[in-house]
Structure 1
Amino acid sequence: MKASLFLASALAATGLAAPSTSPNMAKRQFVVTSSELSKLSYWAEQAATSYCNSNNAAGDLIACSNNVCPTLVSNKAVTIASFASGTATDIHGLVSVDPVKKVITVSFRGSSSVRNWITDVVFVKSSCDELVSGCLIHTGFYTAWREVATKVTAAVQSAKAAYPSYSIGVTGHSLGGAVATVAAAYLRKAGYTADLYTFGSPRVGNEAFAAFTTEQSGDEYRVTHENDPVPRLPPISFNYRHTSPEWWIQAAVPTTSQVKICPGYASIDCNAATLGFKRDDHLHYFEDIAGCSPGGFNWKRAESNVASSDVSDEELESRLNQWVVEDVNFVNSNDLH
């Protein structure tokens, strides 16, 4: 993508952004314990399964190469259904059941071209007023969810009927985490208590969406890793917000002292204020989270297939860093803490 076209898109999106005040979020106490870290490690396995089980047939046992989901293999977790969006959104995933943990899981795979998404990121949103008034979601994530919503919802309904005492968890890594967030919002709206665990997810929608999703029934674990660039996009200054709270880990396999919890939809106290473009931070969440992907995780599509190949890593890092500076100034000047 040429810089002029990218800038035009950014300027157009700026018109959608407006200062907002922090809502009256429910007061919750968050404590980092070994038990919490074990839980997050388990859900990282659940997110990882989508990279190598998204073509499973109903009844297939979960299996992962490179030992990325040993707990699920040991527990004989089984596939309920798999699903895929269109080629434009490139989202795949599955619904599965872990009979030991007694959980129904919806897992969304991250896109295989995340660098291209970072390079070409646009800020257009779609209305989600069916969730809550004033709700807006990134059009790409909204489209991906709409393409798989019927199949996912039917699979969850079927699994819940078969296992009524089981809890429901929704998870995903990278862009899969974004679609998982949308899915959790709609499942919660439909009356399900769905826990949400995302790893390296970008921002998904505006404050109305983030607040609605956060305030519904179900646990909220939005995990980021040190200088992972993906959660810093799309920018806060373009009217995008995160769900709350953020669990910011400072190591791929952190101790309790290496985790900081940051509440708020526009927090700049954790990942949002970091600089740089660290690919490894995006790929390592308690494990090599995309480690069972056939052929490995492709950071970007073949350069011959993308218009964005003329953007160097240095240019991209500079652009991301500039947005971080703008976001910090935006949050401070509008008192969004």
Structure 2
Amino acid sequence: MHPCTFSLFLGVLGILLSPTYASPVRSPRGISSSLYDDLVLYTKYSSAAYQIFCPRPLGNTLVESFSLPNAHAFIARDDSRREIVVSFRGSLSIVDALTDINVFLVPFVSPGIAKPFKVHAGFLLAYNAVAKSVLGTVSSQLAMFPGYAVVVTGHSLGGSIAALAATALKTALPDAPLRLFTFGQPRTGDANFAAFVEDTIGADNIFRDGVPSIIARLLGYEHHGTQYWQFVDPTPFNTLGPTTVKKCVGGEDPTCSDSILSTGINPAHVFYFGQVMVLNPLVCV
């Protein structure tokens, strides 16, 4: 078994053996059922990006898929919801691990965008491997299906790549409605990048369930908003619901996940909104 796959297996096993792998409840406020349903839906899309073969993501049309050493993603079209969905895979290989640890901050330069603020070098390199194709495919789909919205999503490493992709797509296609859903997303860039993400996409169009301690702020990184914190960690025995999710304020809300001691990449990192990441091939049919 590949060492990265084995780590994911251990994470899932930890969840299965722990009925209450939970952080303490703090200031529950809850979210709407419709938003919770969206979080569940795009968690499934993020999980689908891990599948070796995904001919119909969530039963929808597969427009294009990308499988490069440092970038794995697909673009799907949901005609019932009138959406173009771009989903990026998280870490599952040695190359991905090398991408994760390339934490140098570099200017955000990519097809459709060139800005002086700094982002994670490894994440940017991964996104740039597919950026031109992603931008071209999304642009052509929007031309063929006017009025469709764009959703960009991803888990872990894929969440950070998704944040870069969504920002670049919105910059290049400012008239396209766009939302960003990420799960277990590490910090991706500096404070100026975080502010630009919120200004460009709109904080109300960003839905992030993040890893607060990764990558450390002392390296110059800051989270962007808006975090939706499931403050009681779900398990296969207790998937919880909208009353256990808190909408946070800003990128580094001290009353949200930053209020507890983080254990980094832990078993809960592979379980979001009732979905075990990676291990469900049914999200592809």
Q: TM-score, normalised by structure 2?
A: 0.76
Q: Structure 1 residues 238 and 267 mapped into 2: Cα distance closer, same or farther (>3 Å)? A: farther
Distance 1:175 1:231 in 2: 14
Is 1:83 the counterpart of 2:66? The answer is yes
Contact 2:186 2:215 survives alignment (8 Å): yes
Unpaired runs of at least 5, structure 1: 1-29, 63-71, 225-229, 295-337
Distance 2:128 2:114 in 1: 17
Q: Counterpart of 1:240?
A: 221
Q: Structure 1 residues 121 and 93 mapped into 2: Cα distance closer, same or farther (>3 Å)? A: same
Distance 2:132 2:147 in 1: 23
The alignment's C-alpha RMSD in Å is: 2.6
What letter is aligned with 1:196?
L
Deviations 1:262-284 (CA, angstroms, capped at 9, x unpaired): 22233332223433246321000
Distance 1:201 1:268 in 2: 17
Distance 2:281 2:72 in 1: 12
Pairing partner for 1:150 from 132, 135, 147: 132
Distance 2:101 2:254 in 1: 21
Q: What is the deviation of 1:100?
A: 1.3
Q: How do residues 167-206 of structure 1 correspond to structure 2 at under 5 angstroms?
A: 167-191=149-173, 192-206=176-190
Contact 1:174 1:200 survives alignment (8 Å): yes
Distance 1:234 1:247 in 2: 18
Q: Structure 1 residues 277 and 217 mapped into 2: Cα distance closer, same or farther (>3 Å)? A: closer
Distance 2:195 2:49 in 1: 27
What letter is aligned with 2:61?
V
Distance 2:258 2:121 in 1: 22
Unpaired runs of at least 5, structure 2: 1-28
Which of structures 1 and 2 has the larger relative contact order (alpha carbons within 8 angstroms, sep 6+)?
2
Is 1:275 the counterpart of 2:262? The answer is yes
Q: What is the deviation of 1:237?
A: 1.8
**Residue-pair matches, total:** 240
Q: What is the deviation of 1:159?
A: 1.2
Percent of matched pairs sharing the same residue: 29
Q: How do residues 1-337 of structure 1 correspond to structure 2 at under 5 angstroms?
A: 32-52=31-51, 60-62=55-57, 72-73=58-59, 77-85=60-68, 87=69, 90-113=70-93, 117=97, 121-128=101-108, 131=113, 134-191=116-173, 192-217=176-201, 219-224=205-210, 230-249=211-230, 250-252=232-234, 253-273=239-259, 274-277=261-264, 279-286=266-273, 287-292=275-280
| Structure number, greater radius of gyration | 1
Q: What is the deviation of 1:178?
A: 0.4
Q: What is the deviation of 1:203?
A: 0.4
Q: What is the deviation of 1:128?
A: 1.9
Q: Structure 1 residues 135 and 190 mapped into 2: Cα distance closer, same or farther (>3 Å)? A: same
Distance 2:165 2:151 in 1: 11
Contact 2:155 2:183 survives alignment (8 Å): yes
3-state SS, counterpart of residue 128 of structure 1: strand
Deviations 1:85-131 (CA, angstroms, capped at 9, x unpaired): 4x3xx3201000011111100000111149x849x735311112685
What letter is aligned with 1:235?
A
Q: Counterpart of 1:333?
A: none
Deviations 1:198-242 (CA, angstroms, capped at 9, x unpaired): 000100000111111111245100024xxxxx4421111221011
Q: What is the deviation of 1:33?
A: 1.1
3-state SS, counterpart of residue 79 of structure 1: strand
Distance 1:234 1:282 in 2: 15
Deviations 1:144-164 (CA, angstroms, capped at 9, x unpaired): 111100111111012111211
3-state SS, counterpart of residue 43 of structure 2: helix
Distance 1:212 1:278 in 2: 27
3-state SS, counterpart of residue 200 of structure 1: strand
Q: Structure 1 residues 277 and 146 mapped into 2: Cα distance closer, same or farther (>3 Å)? A: closer
Q: Structure 1 residues 152 and 133 mapped into 2: Cα distance closer, same or farther (>3 Å)? A: closer
Contact 2:190 2:222 survives alignment (8 Å): yes
3-state SS, counterpart of residue 255 of structure 2: coil
Q: What is the deviation of 1:82?
A: 0.7
What letter is aligned with 1:289?
M
